[in-house]
Structure 1
Amino acid sequence: MLRTVSTGHPSRHRVRRSVRSRVVRVVGLLGVVAVGLALAVVVVPLLRQPGPRPLFQLPVACGETWQLGTYPGHDDYDVDLFPTKGEAWGRPVLASYAGRVTEAGINGSVGGRTPDDPDGPRGRGGGYWVKIDHGGRWETQYLHLLEAPPVRVGQRVARGEQIGRVGSTGNSGAPHLHYEQRRGWEKVETHFDGAPSGITHDDTEYTVRRTSNNCAPGQP
């Protein structure tokens, strides 16, 4: 009886399976490395300690005096701003400090409150809004704007640059600017021109007046 004699060389099928197996392992390893790098890009900056607080200014025109307030149930550190003189509708909303726009659009829903129909239906959330990243893990948020913001995501804005107008979109009872300062994941007490606002907890109604120093060079 004739016996099959082995030549000592692997079959083509075995070679192909071995090559495919190595390719799959390499591709899988590259995928794991890519995921790890992507997570590092996202997570590592979040683990860094926040930088020093920027010298935020009131987000309204230079020299204007506005009332800053909160009320029970408003949420800690949230600030509502109302002008002490003149109509609130349509007043310019300015960037508190230079930075990059990270949100510019609709938070929740707009609703139907306008200067022509101030008692129209409320929307949800913040309505038209803008969020700015100022670096060092500091952010500011501007909500209830009158219309779609004139800035776009990724745009760099200067301190004092107009980013919207005061309105009453979203869950808002009257035209005003809802404003927040955030450090990392946390909302913090707002400071303006280096001074704390005094608005911390929402366990009681509280108001204070401040005059804006958000002025261009040479402005009084």
Structure 2
Amino acid sequence: MTARPRTWVRRSTVLAILGVGLIAAATIIVPMLLPPGPRPAFQLPVPCGETWTLGTYPGHGDNDVDLFPDKGEAWGRPVLASAPGTVTDAGINGTLGGRTPDNPDGPRGRGGGYWVRIDHGRRWETQYLHMLEPPLVREGQHVRRGEQLGRVGSTGDSGAPHLHYEQHRGFEKVETYFDGAPSGITRDDREYSVSRQSNNCDAGASKTDQHAPA
């Protein structure tokens, strides 16, 4: 039996490696090119029954929402997952700075400080920024709606304790919806706020409760 030339073997090996690489890339890229699915049934990322003020200000970023409790201290309040999903980031975004309950006027950091990002499937995700301490969840962990992610703080580029929150559809940051209704926080051309009560009441929500009308 005639041995095949080494160049043929090398070429076959390279083609095989390229084929595996293309398949791996396709599994990542193709889902990103598909249109987003229906909006998950997002709830406010705070405990059931609590009323919070949602606000923005000039230069904050369109569709970015800052949340402050209407009653009581903001420091240390629970931050909850607003829909079931998989944690894709849990750690430090930027730098932490030095603002704590004992030193609320300490130096600011940069970025989001302690934060969590959750993939809710069908190209929807949420982000939770400026938390007080390292998140209670880890990358790759599946979380239920209402599961605690961390506590409200003022790490990163934050002037006061609050929760900075975002919803993303595909590559686009969109107006936040809670309990099936738009939040009303959209443009950052002026300072304004609205008050909303949390209906994030069933931490054991099943997958049948995962999506709401788009």
Does TM, scored on the shorter chain, surpass 0.5?
yes
Counterparts of 1:161 and 1:201 in 2: how far apart (Å)? 30
- Superimposed CA distance per residue, residues 129-167 of structure 1 (whole angstroms, 9 cap, x where no aligned partner): 000011111000000000000100000100000000000
| 2:44 paired with 1:58 | yes
Structure 2 residue matching 1:140: 3-state secondary structure: strand
- The aligned residue for residue 201 of structure 1 is 187
Relative to the length of structure 2, the TM-score reads 0.92
Structure 2 residue matching 1:142: 3-state secondary structure: strand
Gaps of 5+ in 1: 1-14
- The aligned residue for residue 48 of structure 1 is 34
| 2:166 paired with 1:180 | yes
Counterparts of 1:137 and 1:183 in 2: how far apart (Å)? 6
1:97 pairs with one of 60, 83, 108 = 83
Gaps of 5+ in 2: 205-214
Which sits farther off after the overlay, 33-42 or 154-163?
33-42
Deviation at 1:216, TM superposition (A): 2.1
RMSD value over aligned CA atoms? 1.3
Relative to the length of structure 1, the TM-score reads 0.90
Counterparts of 1:211 and 1:133 in 2: how far apart (Å)? 24
Structure 1 residue matching 2:5: 3-state secondary structure: helix
Counterparts of 2:203 and 2:87 in 1: how far apart (Å)? 23
- The aligned residue for residue 115 of structure 2 is 129
Deviation at 1:19, TM superposition (A): 2.0
Q: Percent identity?
A: 71
Decide which structure has the larger Cα Rg and report it: 1
- Structure 1 runs (4+) deviating above 3 angstroms are none
| 2:20 paired with 1:34 | yes
Counterpart residue type for residue 89 of structure 2: E
- Superimposed CA distance per residue, residues 35-68 of structure 1 (whole angstroms, 9 cap, x where no aligned partner): 2112101110001110100110000010000000
Structure 1 residue matching 2:135: 3-state secondary structure: coil
